[in-house]
Amino acid sequence: MLVKSVDEKIGLVTDMIVESKRVVVFTGAGVSTESGIPDFRSPGGIWDRFDPDEFTIQRFLSSAETRAKQWRLLIESGLIADARPNAAHVAIADIERMGKLSCVITQNIDNLHQKAGNSPEKVFELHGNMNWVVCLNCQSRYPLPDIRKRLNLESGPPSCAKCSGILKPDVVFFGESLPPVVLSDAVRHSRECDLLIAVGSSLVVYPAAYMPVYAKEAGARVVIVNLTATSYDMMADEVINRKAGEVMSRIMEAVQKRLS
């Protein structure tokens, strides 16, 4: 079996993007880690430092003391740091700028695709967005910086300024379902694209990990860019085991040269 070099693979993926009209990019934690945001499952990641059982919706709702503890864990985890987009985010935004992007489907909750220049309406956040806080009573939404300004966990968790209801980060906790409209739109775009590029995801969290499968079953080409192997590598048309920022920036530089 002929083994392709990384340069050859980048050339082939460049061809795929040039030829495609409806590109879906599916992103996981491996994109955000290059911006300094901690991973959940990798060695040394969040679940090595914090018990995932602490992040259930049942515990969040159980008491004010538990909610204050969960807010403290979120702060200490580094998930709400003021991170900046990296080369991978910029490259993905470039796909939209050249008019080829159908959407970004992301498992990340950091808002970095939007910061890099992707249109918010083209970013489907399967696990929510940590930059927003929602009241579970009146559904009011607050920007996270506004809540952080008045966050004093010594006196208890934050509450809604309008109705005193429970405030929760607008992300999916364990025990909650993915937002149904977002999930439905993500599935539809995956089934309608002609190329899906999975970047920085180990493809082990479901139902998110089905997106490349939906695309492949519908006849699209699938590319996986990830540091380590995934269980879907055999299904993919190309697999590149390198850092997301390095690979995606090189691919988009080549695409732009071809299209200029």
Range of the domain at 72: 39-80+130-171
Q: Centre a 10 Å sphere on the Cβ of residue 164 and count the other Cβ atoms it contains.
A: 11
Contact between 216 and 235 (Cβ < 8 Å): yes
Q: How many residues does the chain have?
A: 260
Poorest-confidence range of 2-6, 55-59, 70-74, 249-253?
70-74
Segment holding 93, helix H or strand E: helix 87-97
Are 102 and 198 part of one and the same domain? yes
Are 72 and 158 part of one and the same domain? yes
Contact between 170 and 129 (Cβ < 8 Å): yes
Catalytic residues: 127
Are 165 and 191 part of one and the same domain? no
Work out the pLDDT band at 51, boundaries 50, 70, 90.
low
Whichever domain contains 228, its CATH number is 3.40.50.1220
pLDDT at residue number 39: 65
- Asked if the model's pLDDT at residue 84 lies above 70, the reply is yes
Whichever domain contains 134, its CATH number is 3.30.1600.10
Are 231 and 254 part of one and the same domain? yes
Q: What is the pLDDT of residues 115-133, one digit of tens each?
A: 999 999 999 999 999 889 9
Work out the pLDDT band at 82, boundaries 50, 70, 90.
confident
Q: What is the pLDDT of residues 181-216, one digit of tens each?
A: 999 999 999 999 999 999 999 999 889 999 999 999
Contact between 31 and 91 (Cβ < 8 Å): no
pLDDT at residue number 260: 82
- Asked if the model's pLDDT at residue 48 lies above 70, the reply is no
- Asked if the model's pLDDT at residue 45 lies above 60, the reply is no
Poorest-confidence range of 34-38, 135-139, 226-230, 245-249?
34-38
Are 135 and 121 part of one and the same domain? no
pLDDT at residue number 218: 97
Are 90 and 217 part of one and the same domain? yes
Model-wide pTM > 0.75: yes
pLDDT at residue number 255: 97
Last residue of a domain, one of 112, 142, 171: 171
- Asked if the model's pLDDT at residue 158 lies above 70, the reply is yes
Are 120 and 219 part of one and the same domain? yes
DSSP 108: -
Measured distance CA(116)–CA(96) in Å, rounded:
11
Are 47 and 97 part of one and the same domain? no
Measured distance CA(141)–CA(80) in Å, rounded:
17
Are 228 and 160 part of one and the same domain? no
Are 51 and 28 part of one and the same domain? no
Are 241 and 147 part of one and the same domain? no
Work out the pLDDT band at 52, boundaries 50, 70, 90.
low
Measured distance CA(139)–CA(43) in Å, rounded:
36
Last residue of a domain, one of 171, 203, 230: 171
Q: What percent of the chain has pLDDT over 70?
A: 91
Are 93 and 160 part of one and the same domain? no
- Asked if the model's pLDDT at residue 49 lies above 60, the reply is no
Q: How many domains does the chain have?
A: 2
